[in-house]
Amino acid sequence: MVFSSLTFLLIFLPLLYILYFTGRAPRWRNGVLLVMSLLFYGWGEPLWILAMLVSTFANFFCARALTRTESEGKRRLILAVGVVFSLSFLFYFKYSSFFANSLAKLLGLGWRAAERRLPIGISFYTFQILTYTVDVYRKKAPALDNPLRLLLYISCFPQLIAGPIVQYADVADQLAERTILPDDFTAGLQRFIKGLGKKVLLANVCGAAMEELTLAGTGAPLSLLGAWLAVFLYGMQIYFDFSAYSDMAIGLGQTLGFRYKENFRFPYASLSVTEFWRRWHISMGSFFRDYVYIPLGGNRRGTARTVLNMLLVWALTGLWHGAAWNFVLWGLYFGVLLILERFVLRGVTDHLPRLLRWLIAFTLVTISWSIFYYTDLGSVAQALGALFGVGISGASDPASITVLRSYGIWALGAFVLSLPLVPAVAGKLPEKTCGLLGTVLTVLIFAASLLFLIGQSYNPFIYFRF
């Protein structure tokens, strides 16, 4: 089930609120939320619930064992068992075929392992399971006595499938008791509708425009306009798609009494690649910093080790997004840029005009989406070459001109909304005026989204496949 579906909007969500607010006791609300979350996750593939249940309960018992063990050596062994157990599920479903096929190709063997169906959200909920066990090991949070409360933390439907990645220590108290004020519920609902509009009215339209372009991998050379238009549209699509899900998850969480941290802060307004990654998918960056980069030694062991740690973390960041070499290349691309900004260009770019710094950062990020989009390295090379005029069919092509005519205004609107211009204008308006406009816009966005959904037959979230 997806947030941007009529089933969710008109049946699941109203039913959830009716049941959830029928009682005020935390046990009742937790029970309702747990049952509805499992229903939400198992709507399309009930079998995949088993993988989540097994991984969750295994780490529940590991965490309980950690609290009863004083020996540091035994505690590390218990932690390793929990971490390896959960990661083994992720590796089997997401990476086993990839590594087997890569090895077979390297050895010149003629066989190929079949691709496995990936349980939706396994990358996200696996990371959340790991944060629980590691936080208990670090004594950052207490181990739970009730396995169902841990299952609620893992399966809670707003952030279950595509984040944000919620660290256990951040919501441990909220799992026990939550306060929901009317203003919080209203604000959360408005946040959800804002995300729904971003998904349906912007991300889906940019995706529709992408489908009409002649893209790499078809054997036909790209035009210069087509290459840049495709990568720009995909950059807009993936931003509005993923930030929309985060908006909806944060908003839904707020209506249920949870406070999730922000996951996007207008990343396309960044003046550097470093700043971009402080604004884009913040919860993922926090996870890799707290649970991978710092345990590796972070920046505490000299420049050479810091560079190595950054490359390892960004290779893993890329691989986390998908089992293909283009994702590893994408991660290393950003790793190299971040290393250059930190050790080579520090203090140099600060003297450039802000507009030029923004243009450089935006261009570098936009180029990265060519690497991210094409899983075939040959298509990646073709698309990257076309961006710089290599192997192109010309300056433009009929498909790109048609897309510009049909979607140009829409794409420009998406670009403007990807920057913090609207909040800047809203901040200068009187509070009452801003509140009234916000209410009117919320109603219009919801109505327009429903109309678009009725006419759309396919609108999955991009990050479901990661």
Give the other-Cβ count within 10 Å of 7's Cβ.
Answer: 11
Instruction: Report helix angle 49-67 to 72-90, nearest 10.
Output: 170
Q: What phi and psi values does residue 392 have, to the nearest 5 degrees?
A: -85, 160
Is 321 labeled as catalytic in the residue annotation? yes
Tell whether the torsion through CA atoms of 316, 320, 323 and 328 is positive or negative: negative
Structure tokens at 416: 């403007």
How far is residue 317's CA from residue 285's CA, in Å, rounded to a whole number?
9
CA distance 149 to 127: 17
Active site residue: 236, 243, 321, 323, which one? 321
Distances (CA, A) of 325 to 95, 100, 214, 293, 378: 11, 13, 23, 21, 11
Cα-based distances in Å from 70 to 14, 67, 75, 76, 137: 48, 8, 7, 11, 11
Cα separation, 315 vs 332, whole angstroms: 5
The residue among 442, 47, 123, 447 whose CA lies nearest residue 287 is: 123
Tell me the chain's radius of gyration from C-alpha atoms.
23
DSSP 264: -
Give the three-state DSSP class for 203: helix
Q: What string of DSSP letters covers 106-135?
A: HHT-S--PPPPPPPTTHHHHHHHHHHHHHH
Scored b (16 or more CB within 10 A) or e, 418-453 reads: beeeeeeeeeeeeeeeeeeeeeeebeebbeebeebb
Helices (H), 388-430: 398-417, 421-426
- Rounded to 10 degrees, what is the CA torsion of 27, 33, 36, 37? -130
Catalytic residues: 321
